[in-house]
Structure 1
Amino acid sequence: MSRKPLTVHVADVCFCHWPVDPDALARTLPDWLTVERAADDAWVTAIHHTVAGVSAFGVDLGNPAESVTVRTYVQGPDGQRGLYFFAAFTTDPIASAAGPLLRLNYRDGQVTRRDADGEGRSERTLDVDGRRALTVRYTPGEEAATTAPPDSMAAFFVERFRVFAEGPLGTRVVGHVGHDPWELGPVEAAVEGDLLSVLGLPEPVGDPLVHYSPGNELGVAPFRPLAFD
């Protein structure tokens, strides 16, 4: 049986999506990427999640960690749909050290999580440069999680398999993240903070949307030059 180069198990995943002005967001991206819109807006997403395990070719690496990644939704030069990451934060120093390999811009920040025992409520926070950039309080619903319809907004956000980035000397590279369809469940959530402005991104033009998933397994393939995708 073949083993994946890198497998990441994520759990208790809370997606927070903000609508932003497409033209303003385009100015923060490499000029070879195009902003992809949904409901006429561009979107920036912060994902609070637990990294329950990481393995490389079947060998376990690191310890469970709390993480936040910040990304947007783009199309490549040939119209391929994908993701572009602005920043990542983690409580695991091993993951942070691997940032260049994964093309994730790990930054200094404090990620915390508090759970209300027996009540199902969680509070997750992110502090950046001494500022409370993001607070997410959420309670997953009791209904079973299900996959998103193919043409839904939820599918637009979660069913992505390419990651675009810039390599050495500005080269264009693409990575692939394989996964089963995300299962999303109901959630009650409140989102606070000015994360986008802290990261130098456009201010939201509306209230955030929130999706919740109990988890997934992500198979990460190495980045390679875009010309060979």
Structure 2
Amino acid sequence: MRWVGWEYGVVAGAFPEERVAWPVAHQRWHTFTFLHWAYDPADVQRLLPADFVVHTHDGLAWVGLTPFVLADFHPPGLPAIPGLSTFPETNLRTYVLNRNGVDGLWFFSLEADELATVLGARTLLQVPYQWAAMTVEANSRITYRSRRRWSPAAGHDIVVIPGAPLTGEELIERDHFLTGRWRAFTKIAGCVVTVPVEHQPWPLWSARVDQIDQDLLIAAGLPEPQGDPLAHYSPGVDARLGLPRWSGVNTRR
């Protein structure tokens, strides 16, 4: 695979822990903003399935809201389908460890403006996708708007102003913790399933939140976040999603 994105400056996060030799999907994530709030670990832990513990950094749990554009989605060997393969998406996620101490992402919700993707992911992977009306407008300011088409209503209006690419000296351990993740967990029929992902490390830019109005965190059962979020911007990465793997963990809920 040819990595792209190096022209955007110093990249953050570790390299993928393993190659995805047999991808089931290719996609590009671009115009990507990371917004993170720190939480008391207990507030996040109570929302997680059994056999997972919240992965903390400096004693804090972190919840991320990540609006972006998912582009050129296609299975290996097939072209992207115009009108279906590119759409806005927003994920609400946290960071967890399974019972073997392996880290990954846990999604509280995923908003997407593509009904086929929403229905497919909900049916096949039991991932909590929500169908939403979404737009992304990108110039010197990036505006992300989303509102669920299904009940319960929730959404966001976010305006972010990207800054400059971050240098290696400017990146800190927390930046790597929040971005360098190479698997997501879901659960199917009561068992935890791991979805591996491979992409180049994130090229990270500084960013400033000019406006934010969102209720997705409360809709997920989290307390109202305190203070302004920690913000990063990325022009994007090319991703390969691997075949889901059963871990044998019985979540019981």
Task: With the length of structure 1 as denominator, give the TM-score of the two structures.
Answer: 0.87
Partner SS, residue 79 of structure 2? strand
1:35 aligns with 2:54: yes
CA distance in 1, matches of 2:165, 2:36: 22
Deviations 1:2-44 (A, max 9, x none): 7632111111101111112211211110011000112322111
Q: Does 1:112 align with 2:135?
A: yes
Contact 2:135/2:145, CA 8 A, preserved across alignment: yes
In the TM superposition, what are the counterparts of 1:165-204 in structure 2 within 5 Å? 165-168=186-189, 170-190=190-210, 191-204=212-225
What is the distance in 1 between the residues matched to 2:92 and 2:172? 23
| Deviates most, 50-59 or 95-104 | 95-104
1:145-175 per-residue CA deviation (whole Å, 9 max, x = no partner) reads: 667988611111110012112111x112111
Number of aligned positions between the proteins: 223
* C-alpha deviation, 1:125, in angstroms: 1.6
Aligned to 2:183: 162
1:127 alignment counterpart? 147
Counterpart residue identity of residue 25, structure 1: V
Distance in 1, matches of 2:130 and 2:49, equals 20
How many Å apart are 1:223 and its aligned residue? Answer: 1.3
Across the aligned residues of Structure 1 and Structure 2, the Cα RMSD in angstroms comes to: 2.5
Distance 1:102 1:219 in 2: 17
Task: Say which of 211, 226, 230 aligns to 1:209.
Answer: 230
Mean Cα deviation higher: 200-209 or 76-85: 200-209
More deviation in 59-68 or 123-132? Answer: 123-132
- In the alignment, the residues of structure 2 paired with residue 185 and residue 150 of structure 1 have an alpha-carbon distance, to the nearest angstrom, of 10
Query: Separation in 2 of the partners of 1:207 and 1:179?
Result: 29
Distance 1:207 1:145, change over 3 A: closer
Paired AA for residue 90 in structure 1: A
Secondary structure, in 3 states, of the residue corresponding to 1:31? coil
| Pair 227,131 (structure 1): closer, same or farther in 2 beyond 3 Å | closer
The 3-state SS of whatever aligns with 1:163 is strand
- Which structure 2 residue ranges, 5 or more long, are not aligned? 2-20
Give the SS at the match of 2:94: strand
Q: Give the Cα separation in 2 of the matches to 1:223 and 1:153.
A: 28
The alpha carbon displacement at 1:102 in A equals: 4.4
Contact persistence 2:74–2:85 (CA under 8 A): no
Amino acid at match of 1:160: R
Equivalent residue of 2:23, what SS?
A: coil
Give the equivalent residue in structure 1 for 2:5. none
Structure of greater relative contact order (alpha carbons < 8 Å, 6+ residues apart): 2
Distance change in 2, residues 1:184/1:171 (3 Å): same
Percent identity between the two aligned chains: 27
Corresponding position of 2:101: 79
Letter in 2 for 1:105: P
> Deviation digits for residues 164-218 of structure 1, max 9, x if unmatched?
12111x1121111111111101222233323211222233244311111000011
Q: CA deviation at 1:104?
A: 2.5
